Chain A
């Protein structure tokens, strides 16, 4: 894999302005892993599922170590800052809840980031 491809794979293109091609590129820290297709997340790990037109969903996995939690929090803040809304998935039921995660929770299992700004009437 070339450096350009690797960089592209390790970045999340966030588009939060409707009817516009303006987009922000957020690099995924090296400490965090991006899940390959068909790959299942390791047990106990935290996952960010980021909805993007380019990837469908980018799945970033972070383990419960201090270093990775720190990087995950940074990524969380960046994504929220770009306008994505994080929804928490209930770990027990395995279903999304109506709860929006206002602050990063290191104990969270899965978080779905949705570009609410791109939602419009059709």
Chain B
């Protein structure tokens, strides 16, 4: 709900954008004291050039009413000015502006430390992306039971890998490593890091996809030759898709840090509500 709020805006003597700041703003029971809001034009979208050129407060008023509604953001809240009904009274270089605004409880903005940590975390992501999707949570009850069993079969650590990567790796007695995918996925065989085979072995019947993983895992561990004898072998040509390389960070971290510290970066404002046209 819109609330009528009042703001006390003081301009510097030069009427320049950098001198403008809002000393206080209150809205219902909530109030904020704003200090040095020098980049006010950024948030309020005020045509300061026109304001500076104006010689009287009346011209300011008309210049301001020419603006559409705009949001400006404090540390913890978003305020929206309703330019349709502003009442401005002047008192020398200071004036009081009554305005209609929205008070949104913002989630507290991240601290400098948190923002920097997020920037570092983004940089730790893999540069190579295979485009493989992790498994979604199972909706089928049977699949959920099968996954419980798989967890017992391969252990907690490997199960976590299975959920995130979508496959299970197992080293057979021969030293070969088998990459097992759920359902009817083809099992890839690696020897010394090289793909040497693509085997298709399935369970006949309407088994949940993870049951196939259990079956292949147990068969490979127990009798690799038997597993191979059952398999339909697929060609290796075209099996390996080139991985996509994600764009790396383009700016030095020091630069990002300076920007965050100066309050310019690392903060993403929520989507602005549709604006109303000024009357």
Q: Which residues of A contact B (CB under 8 A)?
A: 15, 18-19, 37, 49, 51, 53-57, 59, 87, 89, 93-100, 110, 112, 114-116, 118-122
Contact = CB atoms under 8 A, between A and B. Distances in A.
Contacts of B103: none
Interface in B116-156: 140-146, 148-149, 152-156
A89 B204 CA distance: 24
Interface of B: 140-146, 148-149, 152-156, 184, 200-208, 210-211, 214-215, 217-219, 221-222, 230-232
B215 A121 contact: no
Nearest to A89: B152
Contacts of B219: 116, 119
Main secondary structure of the interface of B (DSSP, over half): helix
A115 B219 CA distance: 11
Nearest to A94: B155
* Interface SS, A side: strand
Among B210, B214, B218, the most chain A Cβ lie within 10 Å of the Cβ of: B218
9 contacts: A51-B149, A53-B205, A57-B148, A93-B155, A94-B155, A98-B222, A115-B203, A116-B219, A119-B203
B230 A120 contact: yes
B217 A96 contact: yes
B141 A56 contact: yes
Contacts of A49: 149, 152
Contacts of A120: 201-202, 204, 230
A121 B231 contact: yes
A20 to B, nearest CB: 9
The 3 closest A-B pairs by CB, nearest first: A56-B142, A121-B232, A122-B202
A118 B203 contact: yes
B222 A57 contact: no
Contacts of B217: 96
Given A56-B211, A87-B222, A98-B222, A118 B144 contact: no
Given A51-B211, A114-B215, A94 B145 contact: no
A114 B218 contact: yes
Given A51-B214, A51-B215, A56-B208, A122 B152 contact: no
A49 to B, nearest CB: 5
Given A56-B141, A56-B146, A112-B214, A94 B152 contact: yes
Nearest to A118: B204
Given A119-B230, A121-B231, 7 more contacts: A15-B205, A37-B141, A56-B142, A57-B145, A96-B221, A112-B218, A120-B202
B154 A95 contact: yes
A57 B204 contact: no
A116 B230 CA distance: 11
A115 B206 CA distance: 13
A43 to B, nearest CB: 15
A62 to B, nearest CB: 16
Contacts of B184: 122
Contacts of A121: 200-202, 230-232
